[in-house]
Structure 1
Amino acid sequence: MSKLFSPIKIGAQNFENRIVIPPMCQYSATNGLVSDWHLMHYGSLSHSGAGLMILEATSVCPEGRLSPFDLGIWGDEQEQAMASLVSSIRQYSKMPITIQLVHAGRKASMPAPWQEEKHVPVSQGGWQTVAPSAIAFDTNYDTPQELTTEQVKNIVKQFADAAVRADKAGIDFIEIHGAHGYLIHQFLSPLSNHRTDQYGGSLENRMRFVLEIFQAIRAVFPKHKGVGIRISATDWVDDGWNLDESIILAKALDKLGCSYIHVSTGGLDIRQKILVGPNYQVPFAQAIKQQVSMPVIAVGLITEAAQAEAIVLTGQADMVAIGRDMLFNPHWPWFAAKALAAQVTVPPQYYRSAPHGAKALFK
């Protein structure tokens, strides 16, 4: 029996397999609102047969968006639009849905990735960015304003408020975005955090922001619904955030009852030097898994069924996230199930598409 297609339980939620659709930004919203594009996109992915779908980075406030075209969940209008999306998906799919909550910090107010990489000014719909310290990501990005201690605490509250709205919209899980150089990661890394208050300096202080966010969300989000996190396990830069610190953070979150940890890397500093290849981030997930009890999701150039199977079968991670390959082939789990002689859940309208000799593929 395929390990990849075996069930897993996280908290009170059952997942029928270990394939995760990770957050993949679509840059197709106006004022943070779900659009018809999102309905088409996520509607298709909800029929992929994956065990879990994580919606793209969704900002907790307008200034926290990566771009002016990102999803948000900071007000009634955004909440209602998200609820409509979830309701539409629920008509035809039982796939659990997670929302990734984010504040982009100094990497906010940028254009869509297919446009010129240059900060979007206020005159063109952008905004002043904020960060732990007034250090720009690079010359194409805005120089952020350093957050006051009071502003930091307000952002913690914005994460909690967004979690309440996500619950009301029908979301099953929350993933806190603490990776890829966005605001939480900016607080964690000494390369971007030069503060001298309780949120800077020592590792304990640099971890304070994310731990406060987790606890604030956990306090208001229903107990039967999970709260996980995505982190960058290393900056790939000397003297930056590293695996040893990630393990300490993971242990602290595990102790607080974190539901899972989704392990990526990089995104904080343009000096990063990453050796990219199949499974290049899996060793980081494996190292963290050896230190925590919560489930671990691995990601990073995992493209083949046998490759994903091996990761979970050998205990390197509990689940695998298939990102770009899922965009390229939204039926990736169907092909993986066929290759591994497993079964995958699809709508009955698709039963007749099973290849000749593989009629038991669908359920």
Structure 2
Amino acid sequence: MAPSNLNAPAPNIPYFTPQHRHSPGTPKELSSKTPTLFTPLQIRDVTLRNRIIVGPMCQYSAAASGPEIGALTDWHVATLGHYAIKGAALVFVEATAVQPNGRISPNCPGLWDDAQIAGLKRVADFVKSQGALVGIQLAHAGRKSSTAAPWLAEVAGRKSKRADKDIGGWPDDVKGPSGGESQVWDGVYDSETNRFWPPKAFTTQEVKDLVRDFAKAAERSLKAGVDVIEIHAAHGYLIHQFLSPVSNRRTDEYGGSFENRTRLLFEVIKAIRDVIPASMPLFLRMSSTEYLDDTDIGKELGSWVVESTIKVAKQLPALGVDLLDVSSGGNHPAQRIDGTNTKDYQVKIADRIRNAVHSDNLKLLIGAVGLITDAEQARDIVEQAGTVAPLDSSIGEEAEAAKDTTDAKDGKQPMADVILVARQFLREPEWVLKVAWKLGVDVWWPSQFMRVSF
């Protein structure tokens, strides 16, 4: 709704920025022909202005030590705020550690201390002033912690690099479900060539302390004004490590059976749901499969597969989880993805999970990631054929993929309820506006940009 004062300031900001007369990225007119992608979605007491979410993306841009350790900075205001300005419905802050040794790198953010609330609040205030919602992904990296920023690894000519104490790392405090050199992420430990440190196993009491720290970080998120919390249980980070029989070799109540391996996840969900208001959405990101079922280690130990995720998904509504963010992979270097059938692979998995949950008459929203792969593959095929692709061909593919994934019209069931896009926003911060243009949806632009939207 337009403000009565046509040049009213946005609320809760200590400087002037105008309150937009119309929220950017929303259609100027909603009709039966409007793609679902550009229709609002209410989750508990918050409303997404469209179905496009900026997924969490590591920026490695927080201080590694000192009084500002782990705190968000103006870099995060500038980057995350820009996506909000240009129409994204929900902008996620990257994986944020609930313990100091849970950071992926020394330069990743954290929320284990009250001193880190102010930086997050500054980001949240600005994102919300642009009509978007702000989310935070709470995480612990486990055995994949204490790595260096990727540009430091590139200098060494490697994909990733361990962070030693000289750049703020904690090689002696890397923790995982199980410990020892056999549990290094690379698979077999070599002190010269490994990209990750051998972990030490969490004690049972440390696991319980971790659950408490997830809840405390959630409480700090509330104080910072965050709208949505997501629990990170994907990509081979700590909760995923507990879920998988490949990385969880424990013999206590947190290891062994499916019930025990999922115990940490369910305890974290319950602990966070207990401290956040009923009005606040709670998301969960999971790796739906590890791609290890056809590998030697998967055949020997078992692995986390789509059926495992479906089994968890069906328990989530009763626990107060509103949306399952479906990703995949990341827990072991032996993962094997079918290179000939990867087109739409994660979106198809999301669709499969959504159908399984809905067949039991359960209410759980599903988020799909990875649909941009479809457009990139189409572009690459054209380029490899020696044809010059039109400048707008990729965005056309992307727009149609996004539309088809979420569209529920003409009796069709959507494959997902929302889409989460990450790296494409790094390339094109205006991606929402471009998709709307390509789909023929006339959407509002930021007030300051209106002179170029005609």
Report if TM-score (shorter chain) is over 0.5.
Answer: yes
Note the C-alpha offset of 1:273: 1.4
CA positional deviation for 1:298:
0.3
- SS of structure 2 residue aligned to 1:84: helix
2:286–2:324 contact (8 Å) kept in structure 1: yes
CA spacing shift, 1:227–1:124, aligned 2, 3 Å: same
Tell me what 1:3 maps to.
Answer: 36
What is the alpha-carbon distance in structure 2 between the residues aligned to residue 75 and residue 106 of structure 1?
A: 22
Q: How far apart are 1:291 and its partner, in Å?
A: 2.5
For residue 289 of structure 2, the aligned residue among 230, 234, 245 is 234
Residue pairs, 1:71-86, within 5 angstroms: 71-86=109-124
Q: Is the 8 A contact 2:150 2:161 kept in 1?
A: no
Q: Which one is further off, 211-220 or 38-47?
A: 38-47
Q: Hey, what does 1:282 align to over in structure 2?
A: 347
2:128 to 83, 90, 107: 90
Partner of 2:310: 247
* Comparing 275-284 and 165-174, the one that deviates more: 275-284
Instruction: Please say which structure displays the higher CA radius of gyration.
Output: 2
Corresponding residue for residue 142 of structure 1: 197
The question of whether the paired residues in 2 share the 8 Å contact of 1:2 and 1:341 is answered with no
> What corresponds to 1:33 in structure 2?
71
Could you list the per-position Cα deviations for residues 11-41 of structure 1 after superposition, in whole angstroms to 9, with x for gaps in the alignment? 2211121111100111100110112211111
Contact residue 279 and residue 299 of structure 1 kept, 8 A = no
Spell out the pairing of 1:249-328 with structure 2 (5 A cutoff).
Answer: 249-275=312-338, 277-292=342-357, 293-302=363-372, 303=375, 304-313=398-407, 314-328=413-427
Q: Percent of counterpart pairs with the same letter?
A: 42
Aligned position for 1:153: 208
Which residue number corresponds to residue 297 of structure 2? Answer: none
| Per-residue Cα deviation, 1:309-341 (whole angstroms, up to 9, x for no partner) | 011125111111111111100000101111112
- Which amino acid in 2 is paired with 1:341? G
The AA in structure 1 aligned to 2:93 is L
| Residue aligning to 1:115 | 152
CA distance in 2 between counterparts of 1:320 and 1:345 reads: 20
In 2, Cα distance between the equivalents of 1:100 and 1:76? 17
Q: Distance in 2 between matches of 1:242 and 1:299?
A: 17
Offset, 1:346: 3.0
3-state DSSP of counterpart to 1:114:
helix
CA distance in 1, matches of 2:175, 2:137: 20
Q: Is the 8 A contact 2:51 2:417 kept in 1?
A: yes
Match of 1:129 among 174, 181, 189: 174
Q: Check if 1:177 corresponds to 2:215.
A: no
> How large is the RMSD of aligned CA atoms in angstroms?
1.3
Find out whether 1:168 has 2:228 as its counterpart: no
Measure the CA separation in 2 of the matches of 1:110 and 1:248: 32
Among 19, 23, 27, the residue aligned to 2:56: 23
- Following superposition, the deviation at residue 8 of structure 1 comes to 1.4
**Who is 2:244 aligned against?**
189
Cα separation, 1, equivalents of 2:147 and 2:365: 33
Deviation, structure 1 residue 247: 0.5
Deviation at 1:10, TM superposition (A): 1.3
Residue pair 2:176, 2:199 contacting (<8 A) in 1 also: yes
User: Partner of 2:23 in structure 1?
Assistant: none
- Which letter does structure 2 place at the counterpart of 1:231? M
Please state how far the C-alpha of 1:76 moved relative to its aligned partner: 1.6
Distance apart, 1:301 and its partner CA: 3.9
Deviation at residue 294 of structure 1 after TM alignment? 1.0
1:211-230 matches, cutoff 5 A: 211-230=266-285
1:330 aligns with 2:429: yes
Q: Distance in 2 between matches of 1:351 and 1:176?
A: 37
TM-score (norm 1): 0.95
**Cα distance in 2 between the residues matched to 1:183 and 1:23:** 17
Q: Distance in 1 between matches of 2:401 and 2:41?
A: 19
Find the aligned partners of 1:67 and 1:345 in 2 and give their Cα distance: 38
Equivalent pairs, count: 354
- TM-score, normalised via structure 2 length: 0.76
Preserved contact between residue 316 and residue 364 of structure 2 (Cα < 8 Å): no
Q: Take 1:232 and 1:144, find their aligned partners in 2: how far apart are those partners? A: 21
Structure 1 window deviating more from structure 2 (158-167 vs 31-40): it is: 31-40
Q: Is the 8 A contact 1:5 1:343 kept in 2?
A: no
State the one-letter code of the partner of 1:50.
A
Instruction: List per-residue Cα deviations over 1:133-189 (Å, max 9, x = no partner).
Output: 011101321100000000000000000000000000000010000000000000000
Q: Which moved more, 1:274-283 or 1:285-294?
A: 274-283
Q: CA deviation at 1:278?
A: 3.8
